[in-house]
Amino acid sequence: MQALSPSNPISHLRSSLPRRPAIATRVVRCIYRSDLVNFPNGIGTNRADWQSSCAILKASSKVISHEDKPTEGGGTDHVAAVNGHNSATDLNLVPIDASKSSTPAAPQPPKPLTITDLSPAPMHGSQLRVAYQGVPGAYSEAAAGKAYPNCEAIPCDQFEVAFQAVELWIADRAVLPVENSLGGSIHRNYDLLLRHRLHIVGEVQLPVHHCLLALPGARKELLSRVISHPQALAQCEHTLTKLCPQAAREAVDDTAGAAEYIAANDLRDTAAIASSRAADLYGLQVLAEGIQDDSSNVTRFVMLAREPIIPRTDRPFKTSIVFAHDKGTSVLFKVLSAFAFRNISLTKIESRPHRSSPIRLVDDANVGTAKHFEYLFYIDFEASLAEVRAQNALAEFTSAATLWT
């Protein structure tokens, strides 16, 4: 588990890949490899060389050329240099028949990353790349822009893909939801925080304003169904009953994805609950705005990075920890007392099943052996790990509990 103000640092990669240079005629994709690869013509096997040369991993590379044509000899073209390194690697070039091309289509929003896309790519330049779950127009995209203005937002089709995008240096940061003021905690991301070795380096809160979207010309009274993320449907339940009581509700993966699905399939009897930006992106009209049942609908997002920030005492900090105890929930009182005694405010307490040992057997004189559930406890508190009071609070109970920060 990581902290908004950092914890004990875990060893991470310290450098960032340069950004991929803009090449008009070739797109190079590579498959991630963890083993060392020897490149000819002076490209070595150290990390720096690997990072700048990963785009030419031998037969794993695919090259799509818009201009080059295959030679008569073997249908290959020679790539003389990549990222400033001479290379004798020959790559197969696939020609594109210009005669089959028609009028250029309108530019489409970027497609979400999938697990098969997670191969490291060189990055050149200083623009921050931020991964989020969903498709363009999602609330997570807006949160990424609020957390890191002018960033390059990278859509991912799953929460775990966003974690992996940062770990594999495809993205510099990830912005993911952990809590909604109406729907509560997003448990999936709490579990992924322990599974992946990223650090929480900040948080951002985003007000959520839901809109009812449909194809142009659609009418509320003629809708047969409304699709959206399960939490969005729950947050608009009463309003939907008033606007279109005849419409069935159907859950999909995300809000903007629902809008994209309606536009792509020309569904004139279906509406989506999504943002107004999704309506602009996918050519839908807004049938109703602000349809959430509670106007105070806010989602809290955490900002994740490969390396922690340094704890300080000159400004407010929030720290996140997670702990478990072999004696079960009895330790929870001791933990809360350690913080209360030092006047440290807790802002969040969350419990999740302890997956490595979910059940504990204890002896009971009355009924014999009983089974108790084991939990992990997530706690957010308002203090920096650089403060003595926070250090003393953690030291008080870490001798008896397993702690992640």
Q: Sorting pLDDT into bands at 50, 70 and 90, what band is 80?
A: very low
Residue 11 scores a pLDDT above 60: no
The answer to whether 336 and 229 are in contact (CB under 8 A) is: no
Lowest mean pLDDT among 6-15, 103-112, 116-125: 6-15
% of the chain residues with pLDDT over 90: 43
Q: Are strands 270-274 and 225-228 parallel, antiparallel or unpaired?
A: parallel
Residue 349 scores a pLDDT above 50: yes
CA-CA distance, 117 to 215, in Å (whole number)?
Answer: 32
Mean pLDDT of the chain: 75
> What is residue 26's predicted lDDT score, i.e. its pLDDT?
38
> What is residue 5's predicted lDDT score, i.e. its pLDDT?
44
Rounded average pLDDT over 137-141: 95
Q: For residue 108, which amino acid is it? A: Q
Q: Are strands 85-86 and 81-82 parallel, antiparallel or unpaired?
A: antiparallel
Catalytic residue among 89, 255, 270, 299: 299
Q: Measured in whole angstroms, how far is the alpha carbon of residue 108 from the centre of its chain?
A: 21
| Model pLDDT for residues 170-193, shown as the tens digit of each residue | 999 999 999 998 888 898 999 899
Q: Which of 188, 3, 281 is nearest to 176 (CA)?
A: 188
> What is residue 68's predicted lDDT score, i.e. its pLDDT?
47
Q: Sorting pLDDT into bands at 50, 70 and 90, what band is 194?
A: confident
Lowest mean pLDDT among 84-88, 261-265, 383-387: 84-88
More confident residue, 352 or 161: 161
Residue 322 scores a pLDDT above 70: yes
Active site residue 381: no
> What is residue 161's predicted lDDT score, i.e. its pLDDT?
95
| Model pLDDT for residues 211-223, shown as the tens digit of each residue | 999 999 999 999 9
Residue 304 pairs in a beta bridge with 174, 200
E strand residue ranges, 166-224: 173-180, 184-185, 199-207, 211-214
Give pTM, 2 decimals. 0.65
3-state secondary structure of 333: helix
More confident residue, 291 or 333: 291
Long-range contacts of 368-374 (CB under 8 A, 24+ apart): 372/328, 374/324, 374/328
> What is residue 126's predicted lDDT score, i.e. its pLDDT?
55
More confident residue, 153 or 126: 153
* Radius of gyration for the alpha carbons in the chain, expressed in angstroms and rounded: 26
Catalytic residue among 39, 159, 163, 301: 301
> What is residue 265's predicted lDDT score, i.e. its pLDDT?
95
Active site residue 301: yes
> What is residue 32's predicted lDDT score, i.e. its pLDDT?
38
Q: Measured in whole angstroms, how far is the alpha carbon of residue 360 from the centre of its chain?
A: 33
> What is residue 87's predicted lDDT score, i.e. its pLDDT?
42
| Exposure string for 17-53, b = 16+ CB within 10 A, e = fewer | beeeeeeeebebebeeeeeeeebeeebeeeeebbbbb
